[in-house]
Chains A and B, each alone.
Chain A
Amino acid sequence: MQDTGVHLRSVTKDFGAVKVIRGVDIDIERGQFAVFVGPSGCGKSTLLRMIAGLEDSSGGKIVISDRDVTDVDPADRGVAMVFQSYALYPHLSVFENMAFSLRLAKRPKAEVEEKVHKAAKILQLTAQLDKKPAQLSGGQRQRVAIGRAIVRAPDVFLFDEPLSNLDAELRVQMRLELARLHQTLGATMIYVTHDQVEAMTLADVIFVLQGGHVQQSGAPLDLYDDPNNRFVAGFIGSPSMNFFDATVEARTETGLRARLTGQPDLSLDVPLSSPPDVGAKLVLGMRPEHLMVTEADGLRVTVDVAEELGGVSYQHGTLEGGDAVIFQQTGVRHNMHGTLQTVAPQTDRIFAFTPEGERIR
């Protein structure tokens, strides 16, 4: 039985001939912080707007708090949305912006005062209540937009890339505030972003969207440790995973032995429970942090760019065959720029995919 929270069943959306959402099932429990993540243009905003009711669904069913709201007006769905552009009313003060929904509902004055001041306190906006949006900084405007949502006390908060107009420092700060806000309010939140770092840091549950489908959903670290396919493996994690073409050389007791294309002197043991046949093509994925510099046999990488971040560094380079490689270095500060390095993967941390991108386990 579905109790509360947000549930989508085979939801689809077409814009004319263009199918943007091609059948999405999503379950978000009450009080969860869910994040839709995916590359630009994959339909995240569209899906969020369908939940809000700003976009009609072409098919499927949307259930919020045990109520089928597929054909319900936006105002009656119990959701509040924070727009990327903030969508503040420029002619109204901060107070009136936050009080807007209460004024529409003709709530008593005392109640309006109380609710707006309470929200303003949570968001540290009390000193700004008389200002117009144009007199606020980007971060403050963002807070007003969130405040407007809080005042409505919705079952579900929807955020569409709320931090993308802020500078990097403010973004990190607001991210923390959002996490705190979620703990304070305990409401269900759905958050859309193309930034996988935001997704990883905020989410209880992540839904990776691509090609109109949910590619994978789950807790952030589950997606990181156990991606279902090559897209998710490449999308989650920064810098992203390295992929190399390979061929199955032999089956072993624990899995298979694979040889990388263009690397005749290196074969890797990959533990798999259902390995493909000898001679089959496959793609091996290795995260930058699982590639170790070694004296023994390995991948020979010519480093051309080194990103030094202090604690860690990311070395960008190419294999002899021309494939790009990134590997991570922690604690050591060699100047690797322009050098030839040999790196080898931790064998238990190699992911195998079919050439079509499906995970082989």
Chain B
Amino acid sequence: MSIATRRRREVRDAILLVAPFLIIFGVFFLYPTYKVIALSFTDAPLIGEGNWIGLDNYIKLFNDRLFYTSVWNNFYFVLLTVIPTTIIALLIALAVGKLKGRVQALVLTLFFLPYVLPVSVVTMIWAWMLDFQFGILQPLIEAVTGKPVPVFKNPHWVMPMIAVVTVWWTNGFNVLLFIAGLRNIPDDLYEAAALDGATAWQRFWRVTWPLLWPITALVLTLQLILQLKLFDQVYLLSNGGPFNSSYVVLMQMYREAFQLNNGGYASAIAMVLFGIIVIVSVLQFQLLRIGGRRR
């Protein structure tokens, strides 16, 4: 067989192998992405063609007070979830890591269980538990604040409570990542540190924390992206209210697209959110890398 024939065969095989992915990627990702970008420069309704209006949608968006409220709420939510969930997951992972064998598997399963639930079930559970009249958590709230609080109808309580629900729901996955990271740290490093006279505290800060840093950075980045895309919990628990205090960017996009039939404007919102996520996560990733290198 000549070299040319063999090369041709190799190329054919390669194309055959990557084709399924390329087709699916093109049809379900590239084409819709292109459509959204194109749509954002038109005044199209949700279905059907519209007229080219240039940057009008974007100009309108940047003059929309509600959009700034939404972006602000998004970042408030990120603040309430990303770092707390990372810390909680790390603490749980450290504790679970101390357990052995079957007990460890059982406890891990318990922490992972909420992650398996669909969001509608999660919000249903919490809506019940926090119900103003019958919620079993209301006595707890009453003990702290002195009176029961309708948490999803209270502008101060709504975002923190949605954050609690979200952390409860998604924490198991982060715990799993941390457990995997902890298992990758060899025992003899801790033994060497113990012989060198390290206290438990020093063992954590000088061995565990730096060696776990890549996982921590991964969890932080994944969480940041995930939490910026907040929608379902808000939609199901508070519908953006009260007084728009839990209104977020995707909520606004959803409303414009599916309730007000402004396909073009909604696409512009989606594009801006996409831009925000890219910028913020790249920024964060670079910061975390620098933080990692200094160690």
Known interface pairs A89-B207, A91-B211; A104-B191 also in contact (CB < 8 Å) = no
B194 contacts A by Cβ under 8 Å: yes
A80 / chain B contacts, CB cutoff of 8 Å: 195
Give the CA-CA distance A83 to B197 in the complex, in Å: 16
Quick one: which of B194, B210, B295 contacts A74, CB cutoff 8 A?
A: B194
Kindly provide the distance from the CB of B112 to the nearest chain A CB, expressed in whole angstroms.
29
Quick one: which of B188, B189, B197, B210 contacts A104, CB cutoff 8 A?
A: B197
| A54 lies within 8 A of B197 (CB) | no
Residue of B nearest to A100 (CB): B196
| A52 lies within 8 A of B195 (CB) | yes
A90 contacts B by Cβ under 8 Å: yes
A75 / chain B contacts, CB cutoff of 8 Å: 194-198
Give the CA-CA distance A104 to B189 in the complex, in Å: 15
| B295 lies within 8 A of A91 (CB) | yes
A197 contacts B by Cβ under 8 Å: no
Residues 190 to 226 of chain B near chain A (Cβ within 8 Å) = 191-198, 202, 206-207, 210-211
Q: Mark A82-102, 1 if CB is under 8 A from B, else 0.
A: 010101011100000000110
Give the CA-CA distance A186 to B197 in the complex, in Å: 23
| B197 lies within 8 A of A85 (CB) | no
B194 / chain A contacts, CB cutoff of 8 Å: 54, 73-75
| B202 lies within 8 A of A104 (CB) | yes
A309 contacts B by Cβ under 8 Å: no
Residues 113 to 133 of chain A near chain B (Cβ within 8 Å) = none
Q: Mark A45-89, 1 if CB is under 8 A from B, else 0.
A: 000000011100000000000000000011110011101010101
Residue of A nearest to B198 (CB): A104
| B191 lies within 8 A of A83 (CB) | yes
B189 / chain A contacts, CB cutoff of 8 Å: 87, 89
A17 contacts B by Cβ under 8 Å: no
Give the CA-CA distance A82 to B195 in the complex, in Å: 10
A194 contacts B by Cβ under 8 Å: no
A152 contacts B by Cβ under 8 Å: yes
A105 contacts B by Cβ under 8 Å: yes
Give the CA-CA distance A100 to B191 in the complex, in Å: 13
B146 / chain A contacts, CB cutoff of 8 Å: none
B101 contacts A by Cβ under 8 Å: no
Residues 148 to 182 of chain A near chain B (Cβ within 8 Å) = 148, 152
Q: Mark B93-125, 1 if CB is under 8 A from A, else 0.
A: 000000000000000000000000000000000
Give the CA-CA distance A105 to B195 in the complex, in Å: 12
Kindly provide the distance from the CB of B117 to the nearest chain A CB, expressed in whole angstroms.
38
| A83 lies within 8 A of B196 (CB) | no
B20 contacts A by Cβ under 8 Å: no
Kindly provide the distance from the CB of B290 to the nearest chain A CB, expressed in whole angstroms.
15
| B196 lies within 8 A of A152 (CB) | yes
Residue of A nearest to B194 (CB): A74
B275 / chain A contacts, CB cutoff of 8 Å: none
Kindly provide the distance from the CB of A55 to the nearest chain B CB, expressed in whole angstroms.
10
Give the CA-CA distance A105 to B202 in the complex, in Å: 11
Residue of B nearest to A82 (CB): B192
Give the CA-CA distance A89 to B208 in the complex, in Å: 10
B48 contacts A by Cβ under 8 Å: no
Residues 19 to 43 of chain A near chain B (Cβ within 8 Å) = none
Q: Could you list 18 further interchain pairs (A-B, Cβ under 8 angstroms) beyond the known A73-B194, A75-B194? A: A54-B191, A74-B194, A75-B195, A75-B197, A76-B197, A81-B191, A81-B195, A85-B188, A89-B189, A89-B192, A89-B207, A91-B210, A91-B211, A91-B295, A100-B206, A104-B196, A104-B197, A104-B206
Q: Provide a sorted-by-A list of 30 A–B residue pairs whose CB atoms are within 8 angstroms.
A: A52-B195, A54-B191, A54-B194, A54-B195, A74-B191, A75-B195, A75-B198, A76-B197, A80-B195, A83-B191, A87-B186, A87-B188, A87-B189, A87-B191, A87-B192, A89-B189, A89-B207, A90-B211, A91-B211, A100-B196, A100-B206, A101-B196, A101-B197, A104-B196, A104-B197, A104-B198, A104-B202, A105-B197, A148-B192, A148-B196
